[in-house]
A = this chain, B = another copy of it.
Amino acid sequence: MAELPLPDLDPTSDRAVFRQIADHIRDAIEQGVLAEGEKVPSEARLMQHYGVARMTIRNALQVLQGEGLTVAEHGRGVFVRSHPPVRRLASDRFARRHREQGKAAFIAETEGAGGKPTVDSIKITEEVPSASVAELLGLTAADSVIRRSRRYLINGQPVETAVSYIPAEIARGTRIAEPDSGPGGIYARLEELGHRLDHFVEEIRSRMPLRDEMRALKLAPGVPVFHLVRTAYTTAGRAVEVCDTVMSSDAYVLSYELPAR
């Protein structure tokens, strides 16, 4: 590794030393002096360069990690985070013409982009929905739902977890309540059952992942998630599915078209 030219500390500045150091390294990353995947000087080297204690260096590195700029690997070093190729989700991704090709949206898209899609951890239960799901589906406290949860992976890398809720009255006993929901996915099944889909509403939040989500999606520290809740409505105006998904934010770009009229 060539010598990384880091500036010296400014003793007259009232900015904390560890912040100054974080600034130096951040600048190096943003200006490409430290490229993606490249190794940041070790804690020991930085201590020597700046003449400060190890904790000061670690504080600085922690700042960068919190910003999602670096990842520390135990025993190897600290590296500039490399961003994986992103999936771009277009607003027509659930259009019927795609569904009629016989593949679920995720599989079709991923293969189209040259990736190897996998779905695992499929679990199906019947239960009483939470208050928010019940409200979205227009159900009362007495109704129950079929809950389909699963995890999506691209080339073995988890990118998204999803949980669908369908009124049990609709889905019970159908293929929707089985692990393999068949060609075209559950939206195709819903239409076969006479629920002609009209539109979806998606609500998007962004936040830091919970502990379980961090594990399920193998997220690096400092990577937020999209939390997306999609509700499917039929032409009759009835909500027939709610899908609650959590997506790694650095695997996705969401794209929507809005009317101006």
Give chain A's interface residues, CB within 8 Å of chain B: 23, 26, 55, 62, 66-68, 88, 91-96, 187, 197-211, 221-226, 232, 249-250, 252-261
Chain B nearest Cβ from A237, distance in angstroms: 13
Q: Are A256 and B95 in contact (CB under 8 A)?
A: no
12 inter-chain pairs at a CB distance below 8 angstroms, sorted by A residue, are A67-B208, A92-B258, A187-B260, A198-B261, A199-B257, A200-B258, A201-B256, A202-B256, A203-B255, A205-B254, A207-B224, A224-B249
Task: Tell me the nearest residue of chain B to A261, going by C-beta.
Answer: B96
Cα(A67)–Cα(B96), bound, Å: 39
Task: Tell me the nearest residue of chain B to A211, going by C-beta.
Answer: B26
Q: A225-B206, A250-B207, A253-B204 given as contacts; is B258 within 8 A of A199 (CB)?
A: yes
Task: Tell me the nearest residue of chain B to A234, going by C-beta.
Answer: B260
Q: A258-B94, A258-B200, A261-B95 given as contacts; is B68 within 8 A of A66 (CB)?
A: no
Chain copies in the assembled complex: 2
Q: A224-B224, A224-B249, A249-B224 given as contacts; is B204 within 8 A of A258 (CB)?
A: no
Cα(A210)–Cα(B254), bound, Å: 20
Q: Are B26 and A221 in contact (CB under 8 A)?
A: no
Cα(A261)–Cα(B261), bound, Å: 19
Q: A92-B259, A253-B203, A260-B197 given as contacts; is B225 within 8 A of A208 (CB)?
A: no
- The residues of B that contact A209 with a CB separation of less than 8 Å are 67
